[in-house]
Structure 1
Amino acid sequence: MSPTAASATPHRYVGKLSFAYHGARPEKETINQALDIHNDDQQSVVPALAFTALDKHHTVLSQVKVTTVYGSDRGNLVVPYGYGMDILRFSGPGAHQVADVRVRVVSVVPARIRAGVHDVSVQPLDGQGRKVDKFSRFTALRISNVDDFPVAIRLAYLVYDQPPEGQTQQAVVVVPVGGLIHVPASGTAMVKVTGAAAAAVARYSNGPAVSIKPYNSQ
């Protein structure tokens, strides 16, 4: 895939972003419907992307709507220098026929907050502050940042479907946990799980396919 720069994209960013879509990867326990975003600019950037779904013959699936989990389609994802990613969701007639996507760069701006070099780690905790796994009914999340500068992230609680053989697994429920979370340099932040996120955890905990995903944002 190659991006097409729109007129709204500052000239210096043209050609700085490239993309690769992976419906599924050969390695186990990897995310389906993932979009790799390669950023050759020397700074963190915030793209707004538009997607067109394609079938295995690269024919446009005009009735399939493509949205994202992390918000690269609405300027909500900060992509660091090097590599970032998003998770795609498909809906509408033909959604299960998607084999690839075409990406158009609508706009790109410099990020106000530098993205982390390393991914933050997320530890679920129960009501007594004890460590539990992501499948449990947790009430708080401890976010740890190993970088020597502060970062800003958002969290999403995901529930995946269980598709038939040969189809990709899709995030069918996406619920934000908290808002924009600032994590200090070489430090931690605590996030309480409340509202819609707490209801989703109560409903889907102990299920086979849930995940907690942090992503750089601003």
Structure 2
Amino acid sequence: MERRRTRVAGWVVAVSLAAILVGVTDWSSDPAKSALSFAYQREGGDNRISQTLTIKNANTESVVPVLAFTALDRNGDPLPRVHVRTVFGSDSGRLVVPYGTFLDILRFSGAGEHQVYDVRVTVERLVAAKRRANVHPVTVEELDSTGRAVSKFTRFTTVRVTNIDPYPVTARVAYLVYDQPAEGETQQAVSVTPIGGLVHVPAGGSADVKVTGAAATAVGRYSGGPAVSVKAYNSQ
């Protein structure tokens, strides 16, 4: 994604498109917590994001989880002083997860943050989403003040969110800044700033979101940096 050895470059969303079942949502019952499973990947490798959590949802509807995390060391022992947060909000009810799989990105802070090799995940709450999540993830494009597509490393003023699926969706957009870790340490998002609020994206269409307030400040400060990213994710 980014420059340098840009580990975060290739945002390859782990969405099993071939495995996603469309149009079979059963709203008659509550989603089952046991239908969620998780896989943590500490290091994504070159041009891949580190510290990702794959969430697999075997419920046939899109769901909104509230997850709790315990950081674990290489021996599987808890690291009680490490605080775990997420980028997309699977720990706070912001992320809508489709049937199939999707990713969140974890952030660690506190004593022992560089010793995390795995996480233990607990599903504290799970509800059906108000609106179905995308089969094909929403995409973003950075635009300047004239509406021209530009690099995310410049001072863009608008983000265009595009939905190619044949039904409307709601999403949020975040501006991420990654650190430059020492050899052997994982790269993580050290700054996450929302761009706008909840975005309503029409079926097969796009919506433009202005970069204002804290987001404009962050873009002005970090544009030209070696590891920045703009990500959209289904939310409600």
TM-score when normalising by structure 2: 0.86
Runs of 4+ in 1 over 3 A off after TM superposition: none
How far 1:14 moved relative to its partner? 3.4
Residue 170 in structure 1 maps to residue 183 in structure 2: no
For residue 138 of structure 1, the aligned residue among 156, 160, 163 is: 156
Q: C-alpha distance in 1, partners of 2:30/2:77?
A: 30
Contact 2:176 2:229 in 1 (8 A): yes
Cα deviation for residue 25 of structure 1 reads 2.3
Please give the root-mean-square deviation of Cα atoms over the aligned residues, in Å: 1.1
Amino acid in the other structure paired with 2:43: A
- Give distance in 2, aligned partners of 1:66 and 1:14: 21
* Percent pairwise identity: 60
Question: What is aligned with 1:6?
Answer: none
**Could you say what secondary structure the match of 1:30 adopts?**
coil
CA deviations over 1:36-67 (Å, ceiling 9, x no partner)? 00000000000000000000011100100001
Equivalent pair of 2:33/2:126 in contact (CA under 8 Å): no
Q: Structure 1 residues 150, 106: CA separation in 2 closer, same or farther (over 3 Å shift)?
A: same
Alpha-carbon offset, residue 129 of structure 1:
1.1
Q: Determine the C-alpha separation between the residues in 2 that align with 1:147 and 1:101.
A: 33
Q: Deviations over 1:173-192 (max 9, x none)?
A: 00000000010000010000
1:65-87 alpha-carbon deviations (Å, 9 max, x no partner): 00111111111110000011111
SS class of match (2:34): coil
1:16 to 2:27 alignment: no
- Match of residue 25 from structure 2: none
Q: Distance in 1 between matches of 2:201 and 2:44?
A: 31
- What amino acid is aligned across from residue 122 of structure 2 in structure 1? R
User: Given the superposition, is the C-alpha separation of residues 11 and 114 from structure 1 closer, same or farther in structure 2, using an over 3 Å criterion?
Assistant: closer
Unaligned 5+ residue runs, structure 1? 1-9
TM-fit CA distance, 1:12: 5.3
TM-score when normalising by structure 1: 0.93
Q: 1:25 aligns with which of 44, 62, 77?
A: 44
